[in-house]
Amino acid sequence: MKKFEIEDYISQLSMDSVIFGYEQKELKVLISKFKFGQDSWVLPGGYIKKTESIDQAAARVLKERTNLENIYLEQFRVFGDENRIVGSPFNEVMKKELPLFDAERFDEEVTAWITSRFVCIGFYALVDINKVHPQKGEFDEFLEWRSFKDIPQMVYDHNEILHFALEALRQHLDEKLIGFNLLPETFTMREVQELYEAIYDKAFTPSNFQKKMLDLNVLERLEKKFTGAQNKAPYLYRFKKN
């Protein structure tokens, strides 16, 4: 392969994405097992080309990793500590192993560029987990969905990025009514409540929660979901279209 062309990218600016999915009443995150170091984990991310906007770069990286387009995507924070990357012990691992990985593609100049300080723009994405077919990148051994409660220690500041992404998701959940991006097209009120409980990591009283959701006037009630006892069957809902 040809040398990694650092001239194609904006210098010292990167993006990392927290990709949220929801399955079996658990909030999940797509993370990568890194090829470098021992038991190293990272969030999916990448560099920003000089020919694209920041949002276009984020959408490109997400499509490369999920094989999906038109994903709900939100920029939530910039991470720019003066010691970011350069102050991490893992940086020495990268300096040593990156040239061994592919000496022609990642020569001394490229390795120095990759292991220098980067200001990172954080994005989070909401996806239907059943539609995602994770695609590993050049530095990924594999990608996997992990429960938010079972996230390993990741390299650099990626655990911190994940923490702030969850805070932003919780803040935006009612402000922007975005939680429905994690659900199928139709759902029961109980399924909405279980989603909220997974995101907030706490229980809600069913009657109060239902009133809150109906008062928002964003749900359209459909036919009942018949599962046996018809008189106890829950109603199905879907998000109202503009």
CATH class held by domain 183-239: mainly alpha
Whether 155 and 94 have beta carbons less than 8 Å apart is answered as no
Distance CA 96, CA 99 (A): 7
* H runs (alpha helix) in 13-89: 54-66
Structural domain spans, the chain: 6-179, 183-239
**C-alpha distances in Å from residue 195, one per residue of 131, 135, 144, 185, 204:** 18, 26, 20, 14, 11
Q: What is the pLDDT along the chain (242 residues), one digit of tens a residue?
A: 678 899 999 999 999 999 999 999 999 999 999 999 999 999 999 999 999 999 999 999 999 999 999 899 999 999 999 999 999 999 999 999 999 999 999 999 999 999 999 999 999 999 999 999 999 999 999 999 999 999 999 999 999 999 999 999 999 988 888 888 999 888 999 999 999 999 999 999 999 999 999 998 888 888 776 555 555 678 899 888 66
6-179: CATH topology is Nucleoside Triphosphate Pyrophosphohydrolase (3.90.79)
Beta bridge partners of 206: none
Find the distance separating the first CA and the last CA of the chain, reported in whole Å: 48
State the amino acid at position 175 in one-letter form.
E
Give how far the C-alpha of residue 188 lies from the chain's centroid of Cα atoms, to the nearest Å. 25
Question: DSSP string covering 218-235, please?
Answer: -EEEEEE--SS-GGGPPE
User: Could you say which DSSP state residue 179 is in?
Assistant: G
Beta bridge partners of 210: none
